RNA sequence: GCGAAGGUGGUGGAAUUGGUAGACACGCCAGACUAAGGAUCUGGUGGGGUAACACCUGUGAGGGUUCGAGUCCCUCCCUUCGCACCA
């Protein structure tokens, strides 16, 4: 009976489904373990072999932990809102819900063919009303909360203290006071609007559309924002409590971007009152004596007030130009170091030395960071230096220690203060503290912390997303849809395009939007991130109709013990989910500060394409490439089979547009799911990216065939299998294999765990001794997490009536790991010269005597007296002569 | 520029606390069985050297510590990925 993987895999997949083998419930008698995969967006292209890499890894851990007796939660679902389904609807007229259902069905079918141990009873879909009902519910909790600075946490908006003067001004004032402090608030924010497509683009989408020749303009729109900045410090601090990759820690830190410094008040000459106070943020208050001019952002509210008549035309032209320029344009110019700007005609007084310095506007100062205004210290800031040089502004040295003159080059490093009055002679850190102290004393400024993190633009002008459960009253009041009326479902529409003016598609669903009392529903939808911000919570209690999840389930399962997914989500998804989790923690819905205890990013699986040397493009302007089937290789040179044209091999992330996708269905068809799983894990460390090499798959297939042949011959179950644990050598190897595989699973080093099993199998086959059943029994259990279908087949053939999924994991017998002898490597002056077997119980002196008696050793020592002998038990002897 | 991760055979990759560099697999070479092999099995395979040994050499480059360095320290070089006018 040959290895009929198709029959085997079908049989066991049906068995697991029928017996609900991987169904999970709360069980307080066992340790819990929550293993989570980042759930996929079910695209129309289906899975490629990159997807199952992470899923296989978590599946191995799941099956291993089950056998270790843990209660494991391992769910799967679909992140199914998003633009592709909506674009597809615009093109074909197919409703996004229909399309999404098709794609989900295909993804589910492909995944189930791989035999993953998911509890499919917990499957979720972010687009299902029974799911997004609770996404809306959580949004209302966020909208209904404010951040209490004193307590450092969110509280219900009803708890917000209302100042007496606001109270006295009436309910409208109270409402405005509250609305301004909610964690979800309305704000006029510029968006990337593409008039051709009538779509608002995310920042990261702008580049591709501009390249495709479309226009993208900045356009102010009323947007919902989430006050993630209130959590900046906690999001930063709590990173220390999670076991995540360094790179991800670093990316989040960098994104949050905390910097310490001071705010300093400059007064604008000739402008009285509060308008005349120009606040700047600086991380280098010690350089205040070197401020020779100021720059404010073109969008700064003070610009029009302070600009003098003779400068007005130039300044207004510059402001208009900046407004039109896309973010991308500005960044491109920034990369070249070009600095532009205009003088406002106004002057400010430097509070530390009363110097009168000019105020400029320039787009290198960003309205969104700090106060939107800076004091420019060209001697010690490279950007200010470039600007001062371009505009002919004076440059002063106030910190010594630079290698070149500050006239030639800014010195941004630390040194000793000079030309700085009372700071002179102080090293930079001390000078900073002294200046902050002085500013606070004079009430001219104070110590401040600033973050790069901005509030989260949370609304999208699209159809295929969660509707906001909010209603705009005719008087402008915004009220929540009552909880018992959730979900606010998406109306059926035929036209998924936004209006020409940029109104979202839902604005056209007037019957849905307009309510009898003249109120209007909110017509923006939530971004795709919303559903993924809390899906790991819904898995805990997916059928709960009263709440998103019970506190009991949260307390039992949280936090996620192992979270696996690509590092493309290192910042946004993980930061947003942490933010929501903290809000839910503050409001008492979950009991942990952080959702994901341990995080691992799997690497990419790369696909090959072959590029002509001339990098030519076809009529549509696309790069011409060839696929693996079109080319052949000889002496390291690839050529197109049909034409003989030389081409270069290129490995890239798999994507349909690059034509380098490998479909797991094809691999399963030819080799089976167990082989695919095994190869994906054998390719290398989980975190590494690696090329997909079809020949390698064959190697893993051969291994499984060899394993199958341990128990089955052409005639069926082998009759020559012997009882018991086999020879002493076989037993020793088995226990070493148990030990290695166990250790390597624990360390998630699956490639080397597989290598151990290969060594074991080769030995069992190669020595010609009939395989002992006891040995096979243990080995089958070791194999189970990696190749579960074949393992179940072997397990049944060994006479076991039930699944091995909860069979206890084999324990290595310590006494079997002890060897009688060890290989002693002999080094002479550090160079390896010989090796010999020595008895395990030999003492140092005995080993050294044995070594010195060896003929090879004697030849190298040549009668000289050893000056020193280093003895490392179980390893080596090094003789120094 | 800043930050992070890396650099080991033709390829993917192994190598506890410093202790046999190249496990395992692909590819390649040779052989076996075959009508045939893109099937299967056996052996070989870092480079140089040899009839075969011996021996020499070798983990991006150069230095250092050590009896001993892929691993530790210093100085460089290169690759990939993030972020990027954040004051």
pLDDT at A635 over 70: no
d(CA A836, C1' B55) / Å: 20
Least confident range from A101-110, A274-283, A855-864: namely: A855-864
Least confident range from A310-314, A612-616, A823-827: namely: A612-616
Q: Helices A728-746 and A773-783, interaxial angle, to 10°?
A: 10
Q: Note the CATH number of domain A258-451.
A: 3.90.740.10
Least confident range from A12-16, A331-335, A465-469: namely: A331-335
Asked if strand B comes closer than 7 Å to A758 Cβ, the answer is yes
Least confident range from A143-147, A505-509, A619-623: namely: A619-623
Least confident range from A78-87, A213-222, A387-396, A807-816: namely: A213-222
Find out whether the peptide bond into A777 is cis, omega within 30 degrees of 0: no
Q: Please, how many CA atoms are within 13 Å of residue A53, restricted to the half-sphere of its CB?
A: 30
Predicted confidence at residue A737, as pLDDT, reads: 94
Query: Chain A, 628-647: which CBs lie within 7 Å of strand B?
Result: 636
Q: Which residues contact A628 (CB under 8 A, 6 or more apart)?
A: A608, A610, A660, A694
**Residue A288 token pair:** 């205040």
The arithmetic mean of pLDDT across residues A853-861, rounded, is 79
Asked if strand B comes closer than 7 Å to A691 Cβ, the answer is yes
Asked if strand B comes closer than 7 Å to A835 Cβ, the answer is yes
Asked if strand B comes closer than 7 Å to A617 Cβ, the answer is no
**Three-class DSSP labels, A737-778:** HHHHHHHHHHCCCHHHHHHHHHHHHHHHHHCCCCCEHHHHHH
Asked if strand B comes closer than 7 Å to A491 Cβ, the answer is no
Predicted confidence at residue A615, as pLDDT, reads: 73
Q: Name, of A85-99, A189-203, A836-850, the range with top average pLDDT.
A: A85-99
- Nucleic acid strand B: bases within 7 A of protein CB: 3-5, 10-15, 19-21, 23-27, 39-43, 55-56, 67-69, 81-87
Nucleotide nearest the Cα atom of A387 (by C1'): B85
Predicted confidence at residue A575, as pLDDT, reads: 95
* Whole-number Å distance between alpha carbons of A38 and A536: 9
**Which of A642 and A318 is assigned the larger pLDDT?**
A318
pLDDT at A183 over 70: yes
* Whole-number Å distance between alpha carbons of A107 and A629: 26
Percent of chain A scoring above 70 in pLDDT: 96
Kind and range of the H or E element at A680? helix A673-682
User: DSSP for A580-635?
Assistant: HHHHHHHTTS-S-S-SBSBEE---PEEEEEEEETT--B-TTSPBP-B-GGGEEEET
Give the residue with minimal CA–C1' separation from B23: A755
Asked if strand B comes closer than 7 Å to A281 Cβ, the answer is yes
With beta carbons less than 8 A apart as the criterion, state whether A750 and A759 touch.
Answer: no
pLDDT at A570 over 70: yes
Least confident range from A34-38, A250-254, A257-261, A499-503: namely: A499-503
Asked if strand B comes closer than 7 Å to A698 Cβ, the answer is yes
Q: Note the CATH number of domain A819-880.
A: 3.10.20.590
Instruction: Scan for tokens 């809102």, then name that residue.
Output: A81
Give the residue with minimal CA–C1' separation from B80: A689
**Residue A194 token pair:** 């593409």
pLDDT, averaged across chain A: 90
Q: Please, how many CA atoms are within 13 Å of residue A558, restricted to the half-sphere of its CB?
A: 26
**Residue A546 token pair:** 């009263």
Predicted confidence at residue A327, as pLDDT, reads: 63
Backbone angles phi, psi at A767, to 5 degrees: -80, -5
pLDDT at A204 over 70: no
Asked if strand B comes closer than 7 Å to A284 Cβ, the answer is yes
Query: Chain A, 385-404: which CBs lie within 7 Å of strand B?
Result: 386
pLDDT at A190 over 80: no
Query: What number is the ipTM of this complex?
Result: 0.94
* Whole-number Å distance between alpha carbons of A59 and A447: 51
pLDDT per residue as tens digits for the range A361-411: 999 998 889 999 999 999 999 999 999 999 999 999 999 988 888 998 899
User: Residue A1 — very low, low, confident or very high, per pLDDT cuts 50/70/90?
Assistant: low
Q: Note the CATH number of domain A605-653.
A: 2.20.28
pLDDT per residue as tens digits for the range A660-689: 889 999 999 999 999 999 999 999 999 999
Question: Residue A159 has what DSSP assignment?
Answer: G
CA distances from residue A323 to A190, A224, A338, A372, A747 in whole angstroms, order as listed: 10, 22, 18, 15, 53
Instruction: Scan for tokens 């001697």, then name that residue.
Output: A379
> Is A73 exposed, middle or buried (CB count within 10 Å of its CB: 0-12, 13-18, 19+)?
buried
With beta carbons less than 8 A apart as the criterion, state whether A152 and A162 touch.
Answer: no
Question: Residue A821 has what DSSP assignment?
Answer: E
Predicted confidence at residue A633, as pLDDT, reads: 72
Domain coordinates in residue numbering, chain A: 258-451, 605-653, 819-880
With beta carbons less than 8 A apart as the criterion, state whether A548 and A536 touch.
Answer: no
pLDDT per residue as tens digits for the range A86-110: 989 988 989 999 999 999 999 999 9
The arithmetic mean of pLDDT across residues A176-205, rounded, is 82
pLDDT per residue as tens digits for the range A423-447: 999 999 999 999 999 999 999 999 9
With beta carbons less than 8 A apart as the criterion, state whether A225 and A187 touch.
Answer: yes
Asked if strand B comes closer than 7 Å to A314 Cβ, the answer is no
| Residue whose C-alpha is closest to residue A535's, from A127, A72, A102, A60 | A127
Nucleotide nearest the Cα atom of A743 (by C1'): B16
Predicted confidence at residue A361, as pLDDT, reads: 94
Q: Please, how many CA atoms are within 13 Å of residue A792, restricted to the half-sphere of its CB?
A: 22
pLDDT per residue as tens digits for the range A720-779: 888 888 888 888 899 999 999 999 999 999 999 999 999 999 888 876 677 889 999 999
Asked if strand B comes closer than 7 Å to A683 Cβ, the answer is yes
């Amino acid at each position: 009976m040959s290895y009929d993987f198709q029959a085997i895999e079908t049989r066991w997949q049906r068995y697991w489904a029928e017996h609900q083998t991987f169904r999970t419930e709360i069980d307080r008698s066992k340790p819990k373990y929550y293993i989570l995969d980042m759930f996929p967006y079910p695209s129309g292209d289906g899975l490629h072999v990159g997807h199952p890499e992470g899923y296989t890894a978590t599946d191995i851990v799941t099956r291993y932990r089950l056998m270790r007796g843990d209660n494991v939660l391992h769910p799967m679902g679909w992140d199914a809102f998003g633009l592709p389904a909506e674009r597809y609807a615009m093109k074909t007229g197919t409703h996004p819900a229909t399309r999404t259902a098709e794609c989900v069905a295909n993804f589910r079918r492909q995944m189930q063919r791989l035999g993953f141990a998911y509890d499919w009873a917990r499957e979720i879909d972010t687009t299902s009303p029974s799911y997004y009902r609770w996404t809306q519910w959580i949004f209302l909790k966020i909208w209904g909360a404010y951040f209490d600075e004193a307590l450092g946490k969110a509280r219900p908006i009803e708890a917000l203290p209302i100042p007496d003067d606001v109270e006295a001004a009436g309910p409208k004032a109270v409402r405005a006071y509250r609305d301004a402090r909610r964690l979800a608030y309305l704000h006029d924010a510029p968006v990337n609007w593409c008039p051709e497509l009538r779509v608002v683009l995310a920042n990261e989408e702008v580049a591709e559309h501009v390249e495709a020749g479309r226009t993208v303009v900045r356009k102010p729109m009323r947007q919902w924002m989430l006050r993630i900045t209130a959590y900046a410090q906690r999001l930063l601090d709590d990173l220390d409590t999670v076991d995540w990759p360094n790179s991800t820690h670093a990316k989040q830190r960098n994104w949050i971007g905390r910097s310490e410094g001071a705010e300093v008040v400059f007064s604008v000459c000739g402008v009285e009152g509060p308008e005349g106070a120009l606040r700047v943020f600086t991380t280098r208050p010690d350089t205040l004596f070197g401020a020779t001019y100021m720059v404010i952002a073109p969008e700064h509210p003070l610009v029009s007030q302070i600009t003098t008549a003779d400068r007005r035309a130039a300044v207004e032209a510059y402001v208009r130009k900046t407004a039109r320029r896309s973010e991308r344009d500005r960044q491109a110019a920034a990369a070249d170091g070009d600095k532009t700007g205009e003088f406002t005609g106004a002057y400010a007084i430097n509070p530390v030395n009363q110097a009168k310095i000019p105020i400029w506007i320039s787009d290198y100062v960003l309205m969104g960071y700090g106060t939107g205004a800076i004091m420019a210290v060209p001697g010690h800031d490279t950007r200010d230096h470039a600007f001062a040089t371009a505009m002919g502004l004076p440059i002063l040295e106030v910190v010594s220690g630079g290698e070149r003159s500050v006239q030639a080059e800014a010195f941004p490093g630390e040194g000793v203060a000079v030309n700085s009055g009372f700071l002179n002679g102080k090293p930079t850190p001390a000078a900073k503290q002294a200046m902050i102290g002085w500013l606070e004393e004079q009430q001219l400024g104070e110590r401040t912390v600033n973050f790069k993190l901005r509030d989260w633009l949370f609304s999208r002008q699209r159809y295929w997303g969660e509707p906001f459960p909010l209603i705009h009253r005719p008087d402008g009041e915004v009220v929540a849809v009552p909880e018992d009326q959730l979900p606010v479902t998406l109306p059926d529409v035929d036209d998924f395009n936004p209006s020409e003016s940029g109104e979202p598609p839902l604005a056209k669903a007037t019957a849905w939007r307009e309510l009898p009392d003249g109120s209007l529903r909110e017509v923006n939808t939530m971004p795709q991130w919303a559903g993924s911000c809390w899906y790991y919570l819904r898995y805990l209690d997916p059928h709960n109709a009263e709440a998103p999840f019970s506190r009991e389930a949260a307390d039992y399962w949280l936090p996620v013990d192992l979270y696996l997914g690509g590092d493309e989500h290192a910042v946004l998804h993980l930061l947003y989910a942490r933010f929501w989790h903290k809000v839910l923690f503050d409001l008492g819905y979950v009991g942990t500060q952080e959702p994901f205890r341990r995080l691992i990013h799997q690497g990419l699986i790369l696909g090959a394409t072959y590029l002509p040397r001339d990098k030519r493009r076809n009529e549509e302007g696309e790069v011409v490439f060839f696929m693996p089937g079109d080319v052949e290789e000889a002496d390291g040179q690839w050529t197109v089979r049909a034409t003989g044209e030389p081409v270069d091999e290129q490995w890239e992330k798999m994507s349909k547009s690059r034509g380098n996708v490998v479909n797991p269905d094809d691999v399963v068809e030819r080799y089976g799911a167990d082989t695919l799983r095994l190869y994906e894990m054998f390719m290398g460390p989980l975190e590494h990216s690696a090329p997909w090499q079809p020949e390698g798959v064959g190697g893993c297939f051969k291994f499984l065939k060899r394993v199958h042949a341990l128990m089955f011959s052409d005639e069926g179950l082998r009759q020559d299998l012997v009882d018991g644990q086999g020879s002493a050598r076989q037993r020793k190897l088995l226990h070493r294999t148990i030990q290695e595989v166990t250790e390597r699973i624990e360390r998630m080093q699956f490639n080397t765990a597989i290598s151990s099993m290969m060594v074991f199998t080769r030995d069992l086959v190669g020595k010609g001794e009939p395989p002992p059943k006891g040995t096979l029994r243990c080995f089958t259990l070791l194999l189970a997490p990696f190749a579960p279908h074949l393992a179940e087949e072997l397990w049944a053939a060994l006479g076991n009536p039930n699944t091995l999924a909860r069979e206890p994991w084999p324990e290595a017998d310590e006494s079997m790991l002890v060897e009688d002898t060890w290989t002693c490597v002999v080094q002479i002056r550090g160079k390896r010269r010989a090796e010999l077997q020595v008895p395990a119980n030999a003492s140092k002196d005995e080993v050294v005597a044995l070594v010195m008696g060896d003929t090879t050793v004697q030849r190298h020592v040549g009668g000289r007296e050893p000056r020193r002998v280093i003895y490392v038990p179980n390893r080596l002897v090094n003789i120094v002569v």
